[in-house]
Chains A and B, each alone.
Chain A
């Protein structure tokens, strides 16, 4: 399984899907987050593999 972390929440998704799909399935917008894997930014077309841990960084702040 693939672990997704966003703010103080964690959940799992099946391997084989793209980061974009994982973001959308969580009800989030690609435009509003930056995905990080192994400490590095990744693009939304990256296919997730079993054991991957992806952290989604929220980019929106009050101005």
Chain B
């Protein structure tokens, strides 16, 4: 198979785009597609300070790499969750630090949950009897810390490496259960609703997971291949596998599902009735982040409960 642009040997074939490209032209095409997405959804501008949430995986490191190459003011944030299974957190931190060493000028914030709050995420989950819902707790911790660092550092937006497959898996799950509240909020940009809650953007939302992996490999980015031990068997992976079965038979199905959903919302062809008005926010008495809960936000309630019990 030959590169459509130069006729040299192709390294990747994207059936959904009917496009095969060589290494040089694939990397150019990928970076250009991401820049178009940033501009199409008005995510941020060159003058804005962006915080990239990096996990050591292919998506987030590739995103940081692309943003730096495009000349955006992009700093990294690594949250050490203290996941010991398979030395997951240690290895992922190594990958992030290696990336920084290879990208002169890249600035990285590191937040260590155990150092800051006395417990790693798995320990917090065990001690608050959330062992079976560790992924929900992990999400809560990451959101809190991303908002905190973004606010303290004066960042305009937090960029995450969510790719098309991530977005389509979420859309599929929410559609299966008709979770209209989640469907109403799913978008490439989640605007800030409070000065302490950062704007969230997903510049890879139109890039297939296979494409982000190819970008990382071709760009020589060393990323963690191993899955988070708590994600094994997750519903999102089940949905991704199902959607890939569909994509195999009908190339372009994932992209079409996602883009037609966004288009229908934008054109107001679909709307979600019965949405509650935005709940009133007040500052958490401990951390100051806005919350709808009485006195303390969900994050601080987990931390307080542990401390009050003297564990």
Do B225 and A62 touch across chains, with their CB atoms under 8 A apart? no
Do A59 and B11 touch across chains, with their CB atoms under 8 A apart? no
8 Å CB contacts to A: which residues of B202-228?
Answer: 208-210, 212-214, 217-218, 225, 227-228
Do B244 and A29 touch across chains, with their CB atoms under 8 A apart? yes
- Given A45-B1, A59-B213, A63-B166, the answer on whether A32 and B241 have CB atoms closer than 8 Å is yes
Do B244 and A60 touch across chains, with their CB atoms under 8 A apart? yes
Q: Would you call B140 an interface residue if the criterion is a C-beta within 8 Å of the partner chain's C-beta atoms? A: no
Do A63 and B13 touch across chains, with their CB atoms under 8 A apart? no
Q: Would you call A58 an interface residue if the criterion is a C-beta within 8 Å of the partner chain's C-beta atoms? A: yes
- Contact partner, A62, options B163, B213, B236, B245, Cβ 8 Å: B236
Q: Would you call A40 an interface residue if the criterion is a C-beta within 8 Å of the partner chain's C-beta atoms? A: yes
Interface readout for B52-63 with A: 1 if CB under 8 Å, 0 if not?
000001110000
Q: Which residues of B contact A29 (CB under 8 A)?
A: 241, 244-245, 247-248
Do B210 and A31 touch across chains, with their CB atoms under 8 A apart? yes
Do B210 and A34 touch across chains, with their CB atoms under 8 A apart? yes
**In whole angstroms, how far apart are the Cα atoms of A40 and B13 in the complex?**
14
**In whole angstroms, how far apart are the Cα atoms of A63 and B139 in the complex?**
11
Do A41 and B217 touch across chains, with their CB atoms under 8 A apart? yes
- Given A34-B213, A40-B11, A45-B13, the answer on whether A63 and B169 have CB atoms closer than 8 Å is yes
Q: Would you call B187 an interface residue if the criterion is a C-beta within 8 Å of the partner chain's C-beta atoms? A: no
Which of A29, A36, A62 has the most chain B CB within a 10 Å cutoff? A62
Query: How far is the CB of A33 from the nearest CB of chain B, in Å?
Result: 8
Do B225 and A58 touch across chains, with their CB atoms under 8 A apart? yes
8 Å CB contacts to A: which residues of B230-251?
Answer: 231-232, 234, 236-237, 240-241, 244-245, 247-248
Do B213 and A57 touch across chains, with their CB atoms under 8 A apart? yes
Q: Which residues of A contact B213 (CB under 8 A)?
A: 34, 57, 59
**In whole angstroms, how far apart are the Cα atoms of A34 and B231 in the complex?**
21
Q: Which residues of A contact B245 (CB under 8 A)?
A: 29
Q: Which residues of B contact A43 (CB under 8 A)?
A: 1, 10-13, 20
Do A62 and B227 touch across chains, with their CB atoms under 8 A apart? yes
8 Å CB contacts to B: which residues of A11-63?
Answer: 29-32, 34, 36, 40-46, 57-63
Residue of A nearest to B223 (CB): A61
- Given A42-B11, A45-B13, the answer on whether A32 and B244 have CB atoms closer than 8 Å is yes
